[in-house]
């Protein structure tokens, strides 16, 4: 099972992985588990963040992250190098979230986001993080589903507008408009939140 605690941070800079060789690694991953492990290390944090903000629950986010990478491993031979590998992974993640909500048939209680535990931060930082996550999760519920999805993929998934467009089947311009409108509504929701205005 995916563990947020043991997840390494993505490397950057000289000596770190370059996004350009994702396609090479994807081809190698068909036969080499180490190549797939490298792809996992590159994208696990972003996929986890996407699932966490969409579900508001650390356990669900961990499970969905595991499911996403398991599906990617099983289907890596089907990735033909069209579009970015990152976009392909987020497409799988998006489907896993949709499946998760179809199975549950009810909303995740937002109060559960306040009970998230992380071993590293101080208690004060932990409370602050949990409150912010709960606020953002609540505010996202007020957006249209397309705005929430575009915003989550763009901001929390760290995808480009083109990648989000490919995943959602929309143009870059349409994605930018969804993100712009979503951010404007999100800011309004967060400003109205009593926790933010203290």
- Its domain, for residue 149, covers 124-198
Count of domains observed in the chain: 2
Q: What are phi and psi for residue 122, nearest 5 degrees? A: -70, 165
> Does residue 117 sit within a domain?
no
Share of the chain above pLDDT 70, in %: 70
Secondary structure class of 63 (helix, strand, coil): helix
Q: How confident is the model at residue 44 (pLDDT cuts 50, 70, 90)?
A: very high
- Look at residue 193 in the predicted model and tell me its pLDDT: 53
Same structural domain for residues 62 and 151?
Answer: no
- Look at residue 149 in the predicted model and tell me its pLDDT: 87
Same structural domain for residues 191 and 147?
Answer: yes
For residue 162, give the CATH number of its domain.
Answer: 1.10.10.10
Same structural domain for residues 131 and 185?
Answer: yes
Last residue of a domain, one of 73, 108, 143: 108
> Does residue 116 sit within a domain?
no
Render pLDDT for 117-162 as a digit per residue (tens, 0 to 9): 444 444 555 455 555 666 776 777 788 889 888 888 888 788 889 9
For residue 92, give the CATH number of its domain.
Answer: 1.10.1740.10
CA 172-175-180 angle, to 5 degrees, is 125
> Does residue 43 sit within a domain?
yes
> Does residue 118 sit within a domain?
no
Tokens, residue 51: 């699932």
Render pLDDT for 64-90 as a digit per residue (tens, 0 to 9): 999 999 999 999 988 877 778 888 999
- Look at residue 133 in the predicted model and tell me its pLDDT: 67
> Does residue 175 sit within a domain?
yes
Same structural domain for residues 101 and 131?
Answer: no
> Does residue 92 sit within a domain?
yes
Q: Three-state secondary structure along 46-98? A: HHHHHHHHHHCCHHHHHHHHHHHHHHHHHHHHHCCCCCCHHHHHHHHHHHHHH
**Rg (Cα) of the chain, in Å, rounded?**
17
Same structural domain for residues 92 and 12?
Answer: yes
């Amino acid at each position: 099972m995916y563990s947020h605690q043991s997840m390494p941070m993505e490397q950057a800079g000289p000596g770190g992985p370059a996004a350009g060789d994702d396609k090479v690694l994807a081809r190698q991953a068909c036969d080499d588990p180490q190549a797939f492990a490298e792809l996992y290390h590159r994208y696990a944090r972003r996929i986890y963040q996407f699932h966490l903000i969409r579900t508001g629950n650390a356990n669900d986010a961990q499970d969905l992250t595991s499911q996403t990478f398991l599906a990617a491993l099983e289907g890596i031979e089907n990735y033909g190098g069209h579009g970015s590998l990152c976009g392909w992974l987020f497409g799988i993640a998006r489907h896993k979230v949709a499946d998760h909500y179809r199975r549950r048939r009810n909303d995740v209680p937002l109060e559960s986001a306040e009970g998230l535990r992380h071993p590293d931060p101080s208690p004060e930082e932990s409370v602050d993080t949990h409150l912010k996550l709960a606020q953002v999760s609540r505010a996202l519920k007020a957006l249209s589903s397309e705005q929430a999805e575009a915003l989550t993929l763009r901001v929390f998934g760290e995808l480009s507008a083109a990648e989000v467009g490919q995943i959602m089947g929309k143009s870059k311009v349409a994605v930018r408009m969804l993100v712009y409108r979503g951010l404007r509504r999100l800011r309004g929701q967060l400003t109205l939140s009593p926790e933010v205005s203290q």
